[in-house]
Structure 1
Amino acid sequence: MQPAQQRALLIGAMPALFVLIWSTGFIVARYGMPHAPPLKFLAWRFALSALCFVLWVRVSGAAWPQGRAQWRHLAVTGVLMHAGYLGGVWAAVRLGIGAGTVALIVGLQPVLTAVWISRTGSLSERVSARQWIGLALGFTGLLLVVGHRLGSGEVTVANLGLALFALLCITAGTLYQKQHVARCDVRTASAVQLLAALAVTLPLALLEPAPVQWHPQLLGAMAWSVVVLTLGGSSLLYLLIQRGAATAVTSLLYLVPPCTALMAWLLFGESLSLSVLVGLALTAAGVAVVVRATRSEA
């Protein structure tokens, strides 16, 4: 296989790989959350991930972003997409909200992205009727997959507010990166984003009274979070946003809750009801409609 064909194959596999990696974040929370408060866990994760990227940059000689404005834009996206999004999700789970419910709430991101683009006409994109149909299908699928967990008493004002905060952060970060961040090396960009996230998270983590218990499950969750989720998943998300239209990229997040449900079934024996299976099909169909509509209009 020629190098160009290998590159094309790798680029084509990036969306599916991203969904699989991103879906494990909720599984990791189940393993690691009992042994560390959320912000302390995330501060360690950001610090270790940033160190890995800095070492990678030093070995590879990758170019750092040019200009103060670019560093500032990357810092903003790092605070929103790492500190804000992950902090909101992990704190909400810590306060008792289910992983499936968080996945449902954060899964509203494509709808917010589409509404923002439709209202503002930003990013030189317009949401077509076909895309709205796809978004509606995907949202309906999400409701079927994890909707049974709503109304069960697990949602409070505090954890719901944190989950909504995470949703706003990941949506704003995605749109901000697409509009303001120029193309640059993903390794140096990620290092800047993580250092900014660490600068915001660390002071708050020091206020958490509970200590970190270095249990084997926590060590495994930390290793997976740093190596797979941050170095792999966050880098893929950066590249996907850089390469694709914002609505099509965020529509991939519709697949995360169904994938999480499948992983929970395989790993923890959680049941898959008929409504979940129907939701999986609707979600996949919705994503396909959005992505195909975007490609046909490109």
Structure 2
Amino acid sequence: MRFAPFLFLLLWSSGFTALKLGLADAEPFTFLALRYLCAVALLVPLTLIVRPRWPTTQMQFVHLAVIGVLVQAFYFSMTYLSIRLGLGAGTIALVTSLQPILVTLAAPAVAGERVEASRWLGLLLGLGGAMVTIVAKSDVEVTSSLALGAAVLALLALTGGTLYEKRFGTAQHPLASNLVQYAVGLIVVAPFALSLETLQINWTPQLIGSLAYLVICNSLVAMTLLFAMIRAGQVSRVSSLFFLVPPGAALVAWIVLGEHMPPLAWGGFALAAVGVYLATRQRA
């Protein structure tokens, strides 16, 4: 688990670049439903071959389904809906970067965690670094109250799913847990695509590559790592990693897409890294 945070950050941050490439050839909900459909189609034969141990009680299935609804369905659906309604990526990132703060506020009551003053300092520095990077990279503009509301719902869904995983999640085989969660996500997302969009998809190499990356690296590997880290450690420490997602996404876009990385964004990256270090370090 030592390198799990670094691998998670790399895969999760890279997902934003892959998403930009994919949305050039498909509408948001259609692309998300296709992503979940491919994940389920990949997991079903693997599950039949490996025959993993399934949850042994009905409540374990319920817990997996609830996490699937909160994270896979509502978090990603509301994020994509805010994009569809015209909210800029910088504004969405700014709203969802509040997730570690909300998780840490709720962690003492939900998970019985004690949050030291030094960790709060790290959280504030991490939030400041993420905000500096976002503002330096893009214009933060609210196009409509509905779009902003969708982004806030995405924030609450991710926060709720993270806390629910810590409180009720149990270690399950990755194939079984992912299959349940992505099947639930597909069931919730598909009606949005069918009712709101034309289902038009341009099958370009760019879309296929984006879809493959998001399904394998982002949906399966990164999400499995995230939930494993939440179960193994303190949820407030793990959530602080999200402060490095906006700087990480900006860095990947700079490398892959050639997007401008202003000097102020580099400063925000460094500040967020210091904050995450303070928030995640284990005291003797």
Q: Distance in 2 between matches of 1:129 and 1:88?
A: 33
Query: One-letter code of the match for 2:251?
Result: L
- Find out whether 1:177 has 2:165 as its counterpart: yes
Shift of 1:260: 0.7
Which residue matches 2:195?
Answer: 207
- Pick one of 231, 243, 248 that aligns with 2:232: 243
Normalising by structure 1, we get a TM-score of: 0.89
Given that 1:41 and 1:212 are in contact with CA atoms closer than 8 Å, whether structure 2 keeps it comes out as no
Given that 2:91 and 2:140 are in contact with CA atoms closer than 8 Å, whether structure 1 keeps it comes out as no
Shift of 1:30: 1.2
Query: One-letter code of the match for 1:32?
Result: G
Which residue matches 1:7?
Answer: none
| Cα 1:153/1:61, change in 2 over 3 Å | closer
| Cα 1:209/1:277, change in 2 over 3 Å | closer
Shift of 1:134: 0.6
- Find out whether 1:47 has 2:37 as its counterpart: yes
**Correspondence list, 1:105-124, <5 A:** 105-118=95-108, 121-124=109-112
Which residue matches 1:167?
Answer: 155
| Cα 1:149/1:157, change in 2 over 3 Å | farther
| Cα 1:101/1:183, change in 2 over 3 Å | same
Which residue matches 1:8?
Answer: none
**Correspondence list, 1:1-298, <5 A:** 11-118=1-108, 121-148=109-136, 153=141, 155-216=143-204, 217-292=206-281, 295-296=282-283
Shift of 1:94: 2.6
Q: Which range moves more in the overlay, 272-281 or 203-212?
A: 203-212
Residue by residue over 1:30-87, the C-alpha shift from the partner in whole angstroms, topping out at 9 and shown as x without a partner, is: 1111322222211121121122223222222210111111101110000111111111
Residue by residue over 1:203-246, the C-alpha shift from the partner in whole angstroms, topping out at 9 and shown as x without a partner, is: 22210232222331222221111111112111111211121210
Q: Distance in 2 between matches of 1:14 and 1:39?
A: 30
How many residue pairs align between the two structures? 283
Identical counterparts, % of pairs: 35
Q: Distance in 2 between matches of 1:176 and 1:13?
A: 24
Q: Distance in 1 between matches of 2:47 and 2:166?
A: 23
Q: Distance in 2 between matches of 1:72 and 1:55?
A: 23
Name the SS of the counterpart of 2:172 in structure 1.
Answer: coil
Q: Distance in 2 between matches of 1:52 and 1:296?
A: 41
Normalising by structure 2, we get a TM-score of: 0.94
Q: Distance in 1 between matches of 2:144 and 2:57?
A: 44
Shift of 1:154: 5.2
Query: One-letter code of the match for 1:252?
Result: L
Given that 1:80 and 1:170 are in contact with CA atoms closer than 8 Å, whether structure 2 keeps it comes out as yes
Given that 1:36 and 1:210 are in contact with CA atoms closer than 8 Å, whether structure 2 keeps it comes out as no
Given that 2:126 and 2:273 are in contact with CA atoms closer than 8 Å, whether structure 1 keeps it comes out as yes
Shift of 1:195: 1.0
Q: Which range moves more in the overlay, 133-142 or 144-153?
A: 144-153
Q: Which range moves more in the overlay, 244-253 or 261-270?
A: 261-270
Q: Distance in 2 between matches of 1:278 and 1:129?
A: 24
Shift of 1:267: 2.2
| Cα 1:150/1:105, change in 2 over 3 Å | farther
Q: Which runs of 5 or more structure 1 residues have no equivalent in the other structure? A: 1-10
Q: Which runs of 5 or more structure 2 residues have no equivalent in the other structure? A: none
**RMSD of the alignment, in Å?**
1.7
Which residue matches 1:5?
Answer: none
| Cα 1:284/1:153, change in 2 over 3 Å | closer
After the TM superposition, list the runs of 4 or more consecutive aligned residues in structure 1 that deviate by more than 3 angstroms: 148-155
Shift of 1:167: 0.8
